[in-house]
Amino acid sequence: MADYVYGPGRNHLFVPGPVNIPDPVIRAMNRQNEDYRSPAIPALTKILLEDVKKIFKTTTGTPFLIPTTGTGAWESALTNTLSPGDRIVSFLIGQFSLLWIDQQQRLGFDVDVVESDWGHGADLAALERKLRNDTLHTIKAVAIVHNETATGVTNDLAAVRRLLDAYAHPALLLVDGVSSICALDFRMDEWGVDVALTGSQKALSMPTGMGIVCASPKALEASKTAKSVRVFFDWKDYLRFYEMGTYWPYTPSIQLLYGLRTALDLIFEEGLDNVIKRHNRLGTATRFAVEAWGLKNCCQKEECFSDTVTAVVVPPYIDSAEIVKHAWKRYNLSLGLGLNKVAGKVFRIGHLGNLNELQLLGCLSGVEMVLKDVGYPVKLGSGVAAAAAYLSNSTPLIPSRI
């Protein structure tokens, strides 16, 4: 079947997820179903579970590959570690942290919301106050998005860990790494993250459908007493099948397993740290372009700038939704909408996943033309020039081709 709304040439996919899938992953997934109870799939799974720990930078964590999305991964993180009524300190800094908080409330937790203006990072000073006062350890968990996809803000997880340690606070640290893991520097063990999670369609550059959740030993311990009701998302069932060596309490997607195998192979071939550097390079280049256009980053502080998504603030006389719509209609360019509080005010450039310099420059040149089309007085070529000047100095040779 052809695409629904065909346009010549490639779609330029720059939403912050789902992202571009590398051809080798598409190829690996181009396959028949298999019996997941044959010896082949457990053998494949066993290695995947070992290898997937590397993208979390953990050796002690236990990963779960759940047939779900990021929203389901959130639910898995919460219900396996907490009991109804448990107090969670949770940071509201944008649409996705808001949605997670909504989930936390609906799941029956006592959510202690720490709100920041959208465009700012998590208010760690507020966290510190709360920890200081919580001598009775009523706070059972701190829940935080590593990277808020709606505003392009990256939180400082090491600082959160330092605060918890400073107060020797036993709260679990639950991290949404959906738009960070495999793209931003993420160190589960070093930062003492108790549950970290991501989705396959983000920086792993696969189709949607696999929620990847990784639990620290402390989180696993907590899951033994957590009273939240759960079945589909229950780690217990997974752990029982891990022990039996058959691995799957219910049917996994064969295609996603082979896709994950190849996605990890590509990341390891490039080198995870090189992948992170590439994201920094593309993020920095994007910010140079935004600056050259005379526009503002929705993210207010340089130290919070996200290397996976940039939310660009448009002037008040422009509706950012028009930019997104027009980019798609005229240039086959997919940009991210502004959401909720920043709807109409920002558009987003996702620059995560399997992406290279010239793809980004093509996108930036498209954004320039769209800006001009909607009446913003952009100098065509200005953003591309600024980005290229940076990239030209920072892009390494492709190692396999030297």
320 contacts its own copies (rule: CB under 8 A) = no
Rg of the chain in Å (alpha carbons):
21
Alpha-carbon gap, residue 3 to 77, rounded angstroms: 36
Alpha-carbon gap, residue 6 to 93, rounded angstroms: 37
Q: What angle do CA 127, 352, 384 make, to 5 degrees?
A: 115
401 contacts its own copies (rule: CB under 8 A) = yes
With respect to its own copies, which residue has the nearer C-beta, 192 or 252? 252
Please answer whether residues 215 and 12 qualify as being in contact, where contact means their C-beta atoms are separated by less than 8 angstroms.
no
**What's the min distance (Å) between Cβ of 177 and its own copies?**
16
Pick one of 179, 262, 297, 306: the residue that binds its own copies (CB under 8 A): 262
46 contacts its own copies (rule: CB under 8 A) = no
Pick one of 63, 75, 226, 242: the residue that binds its own copies (CB under 8 A): 75
Please answer whether residues 57 and 184 qualify as being in contact, where contact means their C-beta atoms are separated by less than 8 angstroms.
no
68 contacts its own copies (rule: CB under 8 A) = yes
Pick one of 83, 280, 300, 356: the residue that binds its own copies (CB under 8 A): 356
Residue 31 known to bind ligand = no
Which residue intervals of 57-203 are DSSP H helices?
A: 70-79, 95-106, 124-133, 157-166
With respect to its own copies, which residue has the nearer C-beta, 284 or 359? 359
Pick one of 252, 312, 313, 349: the residue that binds its own copies (CB under 8 A): 252
What is the signed CA dihedral for 224, 225, 230, 233, rounded to 10 degrees?
Answer: -30
273 contacts its own copies (rule: CB under 8 A) = no
User: For residue 385, what are the contacts with CB-CB under 8 A and spacing of at least 6?
Assistant: 292
Chain residues 106-165 in contact with its own copies, contact rule CB under 8 A: 106-108
Pick one of 319, 337, 343, 344: the residue that binds its own copies (CB under 8 A): 337
Alpha-carbon gap, residue 269 to 271, rounded angstroms: 5
CA end-to-end span of the chain, whole Å?
A: 40
Burial class of residue 168 (count of CB atoms within 10 Å of its CB; 0-12, 13-18, 19+)? exposed
With respect to its own copies, which residue has the nearer C-beta, 137 or 329? 329
With respect to its own copies, which residue has the nearer C-beta, 6 or 317? 6
243-254 per-residue burial string, b: 16 or more CB within 10 A, e: under 16: eeeebbbeebbb
294 contacts its own copies (rule: CB under 8 A) = no
With respect to its own copies, which residue has the nearer C-beta, 250 or 340? 250
**What's the min distance (Å) between Cβ of 71 and its own copies?**
4
**What's the min distance (Å) between Cβ of 37 and its own copies?**
6
97 contacts its own copies (rule: CB under 8 A) = no
Chain residues 196-225 in contact with its own copies, contact rule CB under 8 A: 199, 201, 207-209
**What's the min distance (Å) between Cβ of 65 and its own copies?**
12
With respect to its own copies, which residue has the nearer C-beta, 35 or 243? 35
Binding residues for substrate: 348
